[in-house]
Amino acid sequence: MSRLALREVARSSLNLARPEALYGLARRLRYHYRFHASQVGRIERGPEVRISPMADFRNGDRIRIGAATRVGEFACLWAGDEDGSIRIGKKVLISPFAFVTAFDYGLRADEYVMDQPGRPGDVDVGDDVWIGAHAVVTAGVSIGRGAVVGAGAVVTRDVPPSAIVGGVPAKVIGHRG
């Protein structure tokens, strides 16, 4: 567990005489098990992969992570509920609070968003990619080898190799090297 998580548990345990504190601690532990501990074991991953204990995963059996990749705190990889997969290459940096999803909702105006059929799409992240903090990668996107996704960018289209993208929606703003 990270220092922040241990500090939170210690703070909660000081107030365990109060039922709401005990309930809150139990909820946090259940959430951690459901979206981290139980999912990490399902992920196919290469050697030397480091995953923050605070990272979240959905449907880990459809997530593959290449060797020596790092997944930061509070990053979320969501492979969708029924279809869609996420493939992460080797030596990829996924920064804290990044969100990668292989599932989107429809956007028709004549129906509630949550009532529309989902749109799954595989996400493919090449080797040596850096996904910045708070970046969002949407379903059906491929990110080429050596690309950099700037902090806070929303990637809705494919990113070419060695490109640096940023903005909402993400656009090429430069190239590595």
Full 3-state SS string of the chain = CCHHHHHHHHHHHHCCCCHHHHHHHHHHHHHHHHHHHHHHCCCEECCCCEECCCCEEECHHHEEECCCCEECCCCEEECCCCCCCEEECCCCEECCCCEEECEECCCCCCCCHHHCCCEECCEEECCCCEECCCCEECCCCEECCCCEECCCCEECCCECCCEEEECCCCEEEEECC
pLDDT band at 5 (very low <50, low <70, confident <90, very high): low
Residue-wise pLDDT for 112-129, tens only, equals 988 888 889 999 999 999
pLDDT tens digits, 47-101: 999 999 889 998 989 999 999 999 999 999 999 878 899 999 999 999 999 999 9
Average pLDDT in the chain: 87
- 34 pLDDT tier (thresholds 50, 70, 90): low
